[in-house]
């Protein structure tokens, strides 16, 4: 965090000082885990479902925290007062602090010699984290860039990301998630974007919204939250996203596969490794049209749209087309459990996409599995529950089971009772014999696969994070390391 006095932090958060002088300077990282404390930084004592950050404040100060953001005065083990800014609501105060810091950073960036800071917000029902990772790599190739670790995209993760920025930051790339109406409105009040990217309106978190049209309205909040002259980067292939152009306060940039969009993928080809090549065309059909070739390292044709979104946003913040093309071709998957491919020592290829799942991302992952396996290798799908789908959950899982059969996935392991409808759908579509196996939990799936997998198999692991299949993904990936050590 930029250097602020305790008094300035108290003013920004509507807090009061306890056990600390107002002139005391805080100039280190802001963290919510006492194990991550850095000397001179600030510890945020968030109340949690299972643990209360207030219980760890003394430990954080002992580790070097200069200040604690808390809901009440706190004392050390010896009874002395800890340096605390006491606020009515710690989570809200964290957001207000981030908002104030970003205002100061923007003001400083406009001064002569300033960084020219640009803030990009990315949202959508699928693809947010991958697009954020691509954009962070593109921007990072030309200037100091701050982006979230993993999926820090909520009312806690976003402020923590903002607070990592300093006067040198040129690009602040923010992932903005929403599981209900008003969430993006809240996040954009903390960090109004200069560029807002909307990827797709899909069926993720339908239970929290009440329907697909409500999802669209909620995602549109990021466009409405743009700075007055901000740029909306919209997926023209999704009619609900394209309609958000009417809400944009400034320029609209469209991306997609259809002719007439401003940033388009032409001639998409997917190779046997599941990686896409295409021509990135900008201003197609205009006298100033430009086009360059791109070859992605990411696995899955669905990443073409993510790449287009990142390209359009990068161009909007000032990168050249050549910088974008070179950056996309060099970009890797950064976040774990997102189409992460591991070639194991025993000849099994693992595709771990277990961080999250909804019907759109599940379909995309299964299609990528079919491409990777081709006709020569056995395709194995290990599928868990897609959470937060609301009343349509059973129908959505059933449809995935039917798709498994249509894609000729040769073995499907359905994990957990919540995903049972996948097995039912496969049976209704015509699956028979041992093509579909239903197991109780992750441990049972691991035990079954240990005796079933063989050289040449391509294995997809896919579920919502809360279903826990990421643990299976880790175990299957670790098996490759173990086998390599034994072989050596």
Binding residue ranges for ATP: 124-130
**Strand (E) or helix (H) holding 343:** strand 340-343
Phi, psi of 169 (to 5 degrees): -65, 125
Angle ∠(48,50,52) on CA atoms, nearest 5: 45
Q: Which of 34, 74, 67 is nearest to 53 (CA)?
A: 34
- The full DSSP string for 152-221 is --STTHHHHHHTT--TT--EEEEE---SSTTHHHHHHHHS--SEEEE----STTHHHHSSHHHHHHHHTH
- Kindly provide the b/e burial profile for residues 421-449, where b requires at least 16 CB atoms within 10 angstroms of the residue's own CB: bbbbbbbeeebeeebbbbbeebeebbeeb
Can you tell me the distance from the alpha carbon of 24 to that of 167, in angstroms, rounded to the nearest whole number? 21
- Kindly provide the b/e burial profile for residues 134-154, where b requires at least 16 CB atoms within 10 angstroms of the residue's own CB: bbbbbbbbbbbbbbbeebbbb
Can you tell me the distance from the alpha carbon of 33 to that of 205, in angstroms, rounded to the nearest whole number? 27
Neighbours of 387 (CB within 10 A): 18
Can you tell me the distance from the alpha carbon of 478 to that of 472, in angstroms, rounded to the nearest whole number? 10
CB 277 within 8 A of CB 375: no
Distance of CA 385 to the CA centre of its chain: 19
Can you tell me the distance from the alpha carbon of 120 to that of 93, in angstroms, rounded to the nearest whole number? 23
Distance of CA 23 to the CA centre of its chain: 38
Angle ∠(36,38,41) on CA atoms, nearest 5: 110
Can you tell me the distance from the alpha carbon of 193 to that of 187, in angstroms, rounded to the nearest whole number? 10
Annotated binding site: 124-130
């Amino acid at each position: 965090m930029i250097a602020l006095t305790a008094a300035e932090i108290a003013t920004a958060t509507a807090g009061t000082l306890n056990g600390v002088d107002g002139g005391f300077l805080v100039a280190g990282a802001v963290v919510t885990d006492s194990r991550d404390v850095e000397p001179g930084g600030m510890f945020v004592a968030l109340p949690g479902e299972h643990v209360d950050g207030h219980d760890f404040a003394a430990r954080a100060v002992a580790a070097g925290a200069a200040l604690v953001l808390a809901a009440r005065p706190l004392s050390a083990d010896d009874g002395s007062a800890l340096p605390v800014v006491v606020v009515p609501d710690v989570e809200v105060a964290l957001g207000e602090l981030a908002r104030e810091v970003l205002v100061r950073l923007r003001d400083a960036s406009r001064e002569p010699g300033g960084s020219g800071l640009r803030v990009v917000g990315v949202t959508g029902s699928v693809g947010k984290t991958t697009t954020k990772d691509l954009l962070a790599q593109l921007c990072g190739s030309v200037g100091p860039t701050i982006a979230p670790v993993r999926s820090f995209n909520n009312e806690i993760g976003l402020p923590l990301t903002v607070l990592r920025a300093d006067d040198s930051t040129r690009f602040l790339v923010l992932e903005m998630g929403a599981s209900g109406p008003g969430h993006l409105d809240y996040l954009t009040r903390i960090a109004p974007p200069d560029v807002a990217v909307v990827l797709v309106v899909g069926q993720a978190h339908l239970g929290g919204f009440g329907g697909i049209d409500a999802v669209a309205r909620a995602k549109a909040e990021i466009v409405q939250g743009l700075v007055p002259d901000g740029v909306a980067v919209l997926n023209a292939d999704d009619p609900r996203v394209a309609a958000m152009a009417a809400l944009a306060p400034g320029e609209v940039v469209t991306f997609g596969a259809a002719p007439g969009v401003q940033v388009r993928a032409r001639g998409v080809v997917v190779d046997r490794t599941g990686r896409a090549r295409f021509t990135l065309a900008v201003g197609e059909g205009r006298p100033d049209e430009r086009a360059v070739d791109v070859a992605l390292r990411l696995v899955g044709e669905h990443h073409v749209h993510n790449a287009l979104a990142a390209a359009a946003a990068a161009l909007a913040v000032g990168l050249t087309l050549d910088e974008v093309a070179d950056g996309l071709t060099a970009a890797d998957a950064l976040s774990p459990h997102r189409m992460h491919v591991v070639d194991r020592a025993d000849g099994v290829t693992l595709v771990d996409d277990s961080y999250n799942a909804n019907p759109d991302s599940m379909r995309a992952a299964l299609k990528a599995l079919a491409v990777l396996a081709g006709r020569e290798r056995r395709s194995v799908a290990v599928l868990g529950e897609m959470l937060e789908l609301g009343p349509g959950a059973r129908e959505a899982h059933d449809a995935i089971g039917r798709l498994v059969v249509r894609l000729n996935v040769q073995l499907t392991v359905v994990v957990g009772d919540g995903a049972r409808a996948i097995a039912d759908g496969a049976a209704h579509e015509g699956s028979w014999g041992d093509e579909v196996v239903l197991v109780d939990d992750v441990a049972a799936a691991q035990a079954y696969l240990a005796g079933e997998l063989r050289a040449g198999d391509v294995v997809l692991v896919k579920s919502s994070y809360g279903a826990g299949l990421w643990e299976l993904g880790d175990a299957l990936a670790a098996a490759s390391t173990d086998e390599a050590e034994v072989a050596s």
